[in-house]
């Protein structure tokens, strides 16, 4: 990921769907996860139905502010993603959109 970002980036924004959203969240916290050389500073992040496996274990690592504004998009009938998942990023420039469909 680091090599691709260095060779092709920077990017205006990063989008992650489902487990890809989890991956984006993890990348945005790479510095505290022990990867200080991987510095992503996109202008924005979009997380769509961003599933978080092992919620109890991972929440303390990925919660808190990100360096970029975040747009969360969730389906109110999504059986996989819990609606509270968006609450881990309390930035003032965070937007949450719910739609009536599922995942």
Q: Where are the domains of the chain?
A: 2-99
Give 5-49 pLDDT, tens digit per residue.
889 988 899 999 988 988 888 888 776 677 777 777 788 999 898
**Is the CATH code 3.40.50.1820 the one for domain 2-99?**
yes
Please provide the DSSP assignment of the chain as one string. -HHHHHHH---SEEEEETHHHHHHHHHHTTTTTT-TT-----SEEEEES---TTHHHHHHHH-S--SS-EEEEEETT-SSS-GGGGGG---TTEEEEEESS--
Going by pLDDT thresholds of 50, 70 and 90, the confidence category of residue 103 is confident
Q: What pLDDT is attached to residue 88?
A: 56
Instruction: Out of 49, 50, 78, 85, pick the active-site residue.
Output: 78
Instruction: Out of 12, 18, 67, 93, pick the active-site residue.
Output: 18
Q: Which residue has the higher pLDDT, 103 or 9?
A: 9
Give 45-84 pLDDT, tens digit per residue.
998 988 777 767 777 766 666 778 889 888 888 887 765 5
Q: What pLDDT is attached to residue 46?
A: 93
Active site residue 68: no
Residue with structure tokens 């990063």? Answer: 14
Q: What pLDDT is attached to residue 51?
A: 73
Active site residue 103: yes
Q: What is the chain's mean pLDDT, rounded?
A: 79
Report whether the peptide linkage leading into residue 10 is cis, meaning its omega lies within 30 degrees of zero.
yes
Instruction: Out of 49, 68, 93, 103, pick the active-site residue.
Output: 103
Q: What pLDDT is attached to residue 84?
A: 57
């Amino acid at each position: 990921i680091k090599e691709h970002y260095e060779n092709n980036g920077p990017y205006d924004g990063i989008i992650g769907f489902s487990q890809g959203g989890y991956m984006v969240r993890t990348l945005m916290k790479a510095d505290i996860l022990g990867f200080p050389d991987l510095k992503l500073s996109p202008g924005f992040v979009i997380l769509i139905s961003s599933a978080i496996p092992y919620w109890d274990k991972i929440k303390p690592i990925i919660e808190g502010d990100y360096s970029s504004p975040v747009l969360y998009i969730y389906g109110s009938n999504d059986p996989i993603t819990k609606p509270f998942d968006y609450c881990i990023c309390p930035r003032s420039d965070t937007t949450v959109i719910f739609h009536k469909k599922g995942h």
